Amino acid sequence: MSRIKSFCKQIFAQGINWFLVILSLALVLTACSPTEQTPTQYVVDDLGRLVAINGTPQRIVSLAPSNTEILFALGLGEKVVGVTDLCDYPTEALEKEKVGGYYGPDIEKIIALEPDLVLATDFHRFELIPTLEEQGFTVFAVAPQTLDDVLESIQKVGKITGKEEEASGFVNEMQSKIEEIQELTEGLGERPRVLYVTWHDPIWTVGRDTWIDDLVWIAGGNNTFSQYFESGAMVEIEWVLFCNPEVIITSSWPDVYEWAMNEPALNVTDARQSGSVYTCDDNLVQRPGPRLVNGLEWFAYFIHPEIFEEPEGS
């Protein structure tokens, strides 16, 4: 009987030793695997796709100038390894590896950069996103429509990159500037009719459910075609004359502003009669990113120069 007890004690001791060895090995492997330290999170992107984010991304490729601006605003510039040819802000973005144009990025270049996160847009949903996902890459789409969507998108980017606190602080700053302008315009009675022109031949403008429509309203204006269209739309010159805008703001393409200033048919509009024709930097109003608040300041000045001073800078 004593021999049996002694044998059992040896087996038990050996079992404890093996258990300790296995436990130690598991702890070492966990410490060596950074993705295990940060659990996988599942976040719905702007296309309604549930995307698995494994750990904290360390190599990020941005496929839109607005995405690049968001990443740098959140202090993620060092983790950005690739951008498009159009990503020109901040200046540090110019030094990053280029993966081609916004409309036709080079998939092979993207793959060669070995990103663990690719920030795409709505434009890339049909071909680029599926192709990259088939190759095993994590792709998150940032595709806001309204100003509120833009703020939410910044929050989402912060969440999936480990910069949630920074994103909340940045969004709060943007929201404060928006509310500051809104407080001065929300009590206005009649709002000037505002036409925003993205292109002139043919004439392209914007409707409701767009961040530009939001900028016009917050700045104290009434988007001329808000009641007719949900998003971007092509319109005839006769329709513009019928709506008779009191303020015309164009994109910064030289031909568009020149058209707005010199098109004879527009002579009868209130905007031309009062000299209320302006142009605004596209990068401040057509990129759904952090600088939209700067575009809002310019819109407020164009629409209500009696209330707002000219913003600093161009």
* Predicted pLDDT at 38: 61
Alpha-carbon gap, residue 8 to 30, rounded angstroms: 33
Tens-level pLDDT at each residue, the chain (314 residues) = 444 444 344 433 444 344 333 334 343 344 444 434 567 999 999 999 999 999 999 999 999 999 999 999 999 999 999 999 999 999 999 999 999 998 889 999 999 999 999 999 999 999 999 999 999 999 999 999 999 999 999 999 999 999 999 999 999 999 999 999 999 999 888 899 999 999 999 999 999 999 999 999 999 999 999 999 999 999 999 999 999 999 999 999 889 999 999 999 999 999 999 999 999 999 999 999 999 999 999 999 999 999 999 998 75
Alpha-carbon gap, residue 206 to 123, rounded angstroms: 18
pTM for this structure? 0.86
Q: Does domain 41-163 have CATH number 3.40.50.1010?
A: no
Alpha-carbon gap, residue 268 to 222, rounded angstroms: 19
Q: Can you say whether the dihedral through the CA atoms of 186, 70, 161, 77 is positive or negative?
A: negative
* Predicted pLDDT at 102: 87
* Predicted pLDDT at 103: 86
Size of the chain, expressed as the number of residues it contains = 314
Domain boundaries, the chain: 41-163, 179-303
Alpha-carbon gap, residue 155 to 124, rounded angstroms: 21
Alpha-carbon gap, residue 173 to 276, rounded angstroms: 30
**SS (HEC) of the chain:** CHHHHHHHHHHHHHHHHHHHHHHHHHHHHHHHCHHHHCCCEEEECCCCCEEEECCCCCCEEECCHHHHHHHHHCCCHHHEEEECCCCCCCHHHHHCEECECCCCECHHHHHHCCCCEEEECHHHCCCHHHHHHHCCCCEEECCCCCHHHHHHHHHHHHHHCCCHHHHHHHHHHHHHHHHHHHHHHCCCCCCCEEEEECEECCEEEECCCCHHHHHHHHCCCEECCCCCCCCEEEECHHHHHHHCCCEEEECCCHHHHHHHHHCHHHHHCHHHHHCCEEECCHHHHCCCCCCHHHHHHHHHHHHCCCCCCCCCCC
* Predicted pLDDT at 314: 55
* Predicted pLDDT at 80: 98
Alpha-carbon gap, residue 208 to 224, rounded angstroms: 10
244: left (phi over 0), alpha (psi -120 to 50) or beta: left
Indicate if 179-303 has the same CATH topology as 41-163: yes
Q: Can you say whether the dihedral through the CA atoms of 134, 135, 137, 142 is positive or negative?
A: negative
- Of 307, 248, 301, 313, the closest CA to residue 274 belongs to 248
Residue type, 19: F
CATH topology of domain 179-303: Rossmann fold (3.40.50)
User: Contact, 22 vs 29, CB < 8 A?
Assistant: no
For the record, the structure tokens of 82 come out as 């690739």
